[in-house]
């Protein structure tokens, strides 16, 4: 007989401590403003700024590190906390220990590479850019690999919740889902949570050679699309494949509200994705091939997890 035991503990972040004491939000969270109405949102924004700016609610992913600890993450870089993976005790805010810090935002899904990790950071201002960077096995001492200027028209910057790594290549997928800064700080509304969709903008795949530290190709899809997570990436001969949960646009983000998540997709619940392979011929300028994958993720059994 196999016995499986589980446990859970709240991460002792500033966001948690404030909610426990005051029964409300300290910061504007993803899709949820801390204040009600314009005046309430302005007050909550100032309160959050005085408490560090972005939320430190590290609620998205858990990354095991070489020193036996783990780091809990969300997209703001300050939403990074070290925990003991055995007791789940919060050990304190995670320190990146390096002068080449990734910036205000990065993806919530760093990918193991070599003896460390690779991730992608996003700068909204003063100079919009995406930065592919590498850190060590303790998710510290970040080192810049390559900066990428956004393909979107200034000042639009694409949102990256995740990215992909296949072989020696990092693949940054720029979609027409761009930050709405006013909505991001909680003082306005956006079409999709804190983002807008640019109907006339393409989806572009940016491929960075991690070892050389440079962008090696940039390809645009014929039909724009949105993705939330990449499922896999690998090199086959001279072809780079990236498997993503494919959406026609970013409207699926509105389905992440709790009432929509609790409903069935057929009754306006969370939107399923289509597992799709994007293939890039590295040795030519051929168009990106988009292939719907066979198997349980195709047909009626679509990917329900974004």
Structure token pair of residue 243: 């498997």
C-alpha to C-alpha distance for 109 and 56, rounded to whole angstroms: 16
C-alpha to C-alpha distance for 164 and 93, rounded to whole angstroms: 26
Q: Is the pLDDT of residue 136 over 80?
A: yes
User: Is residue 107 within 8 Å of 98, Cβ to Cβ?
Assistant: no
**Mean pLDDT for the chain?**
88
Q: At residue 238, what are phi and psi to the nearest 5 degrees?
A: -105, 15
Task: Name the band, by pLDDT with cuts 50, 70 and 90, for residue 128.
Answer: very high
pLDDT of residue 257: 73
Residue labelled with tokens 């070290």? 82
Q: CB within 8 A of 184, min separation 6: which ones?
A: 28, 194
Q: Is the pLDDT of residue 139 over 80?
A: yes
pLDDT tens-digit map of 39-66:
777 777 777 777 777 889 999 999 999 9
User: Is residue 148 within 8 Å of 132, Cβ to Cβ?
Assistant: yes
pLDDT of residue 222: 85
Q: CB within 8 A of 289, min separation 6: which ones?
A: 277, 278, 279
Q: Is the pLDDT of residue 269 over 60?
A: yes
Structure token pair of residue 289: 């091939």
Q: Which of 22, 56, 39, 57 is nearest to 186 (CA)?
A: 39
SS3 251: helix
Cα torsion at 17, 21, 25, 26 (round to 10°)? -60
Residue labelled with tokens 């000042």? 155
């Amino acid at each position: 007989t196999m016995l499986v035991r589980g446990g859970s503990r709240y991460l002792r972040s500033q966001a948690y401590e404030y909610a426990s004491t005051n029964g409300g939000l300290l910061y504007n969270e993803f899709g949820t403003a801390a204040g009600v109405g314009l005046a309430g949102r302005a007050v909550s924004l100032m309160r959050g700024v005085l408490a560090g700016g972005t939320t430190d609610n590290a609620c998205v992913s858990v990354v095991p590190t070489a020193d036996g600890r783990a780091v809990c993450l969300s997209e703001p870089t300050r939403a990074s906390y070290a925990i003991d993976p055995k007791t789940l005790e919060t050990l304190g805010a995670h320190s990146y220990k390096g002068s080449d810090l990734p910036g205000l935002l990065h993806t919530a899904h760093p990918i193991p590479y070599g003896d460390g990790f690779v991730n992608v950071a996003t700068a909204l201002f003063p100079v919009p850019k995406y930065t592919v960077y590498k850190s060590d096995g303790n998710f510290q001492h970040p080192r810049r690999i390559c900066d990428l200027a956004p393909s979107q028209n200034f000042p639009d910057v694409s949102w990256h919740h995740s990215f992909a790594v296949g072989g020696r290549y990092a693949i940054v997928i720029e979609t027409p889902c761009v930050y709405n800064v006013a909505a991001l700080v909680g003082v306005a509304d956006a079409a999709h949570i804190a983002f807008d969709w640019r109907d006339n903008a393409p989806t572009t795949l940016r491929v960075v050679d991690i070892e050389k530290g440079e962008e090696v190709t940039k390809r645009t899809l014929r039909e724009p699309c949105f993705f939330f997570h990449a499922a896999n990436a690998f090199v086959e001969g001279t072809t780079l494949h990236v498997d993503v949960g494919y959406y026609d646009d970013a409207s699926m983000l509105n389905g992440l509200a709790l009432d929509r998540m609790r409903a069935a997709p057929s009754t306006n619940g969370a939107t399923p994705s289509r597992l799709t392979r994007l293939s890039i011929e590295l040795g030519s300028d051929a168009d990106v091939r988009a292939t719907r994958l066979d198997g349980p993720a195709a047909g009626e059994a679509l990917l329900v997890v974004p």
